[in-house]
Homo-oligomer: A and B are copies of this chain.
Amino acid sequence: MSEIDVTEVFEKCLGCRYMVAILRRIEQGIQRPGQLEKAVDGMTAKVLSERLKRLVEYGVVEKTSYSEIPPRVEYTLSTFGQRLLEIIDEVDILHKEARLKK
């Protein structure tokens, strides 16, 4: 398997549109694609689908498929994903502090 640098994690998992929003919604318990689509403003199903695929690829979220009709799928944060979100919040706080000082 290829060596994945952290730079790649930032570029592919955090740098694109909606990513942080998607992760936050999943953390809040919104785990099905249909719900996520409605919960993130402006995001289409196609883009959501691509994002989720990538997040699974990088081990940020985990996917569970239930063999039902109609099909049901759920995404949850991996341990790595949970820590990532904590770190995002940390940056959030830092950023606000930095802006206050100006």
A91 and B6 in contact, given A15-B14, A98-B80 (Cβ under 8 angstroms)? yes
Q: Residue A78 contacts which of B14, B21, B90, B98 (CB distance < 8 angstroms)?
A: B98
Q: Which one, A31-39, A49-57, A65-73, A81-89, is touching chain B? A: A81-89
- Main secondary structure on A side of the interface with B: helix
**Chain A interface size, under 10 / 10 to 19 / 20 to 34 / 35 or more:** 20 to 34
A11 and B15 in contact, given A59-B99, A80-B98, A98-B59 (Cβ under 8 angstroms)? yes
Residues of B within 8 A of A21 (CB): 7
Most buried by B among A84, A92, A98, A102: A98
- What are 26 pairs between A and B in contact, CB < 8 Å? A4-B95, A4-B99, A6-B88, A6-B95, A7-B20, A9-B91, A9-B95, A10-B10, A10-B14, A10-B19, A11-B14, A11-B16, A14-B14, A14-B15, A15-B16, A59-B99, A59-B102, A78-B98, A80-B94, A80-B95, A80-B97, A80-B98, A84-B94, A87-B90, A87-B91, A87-B94
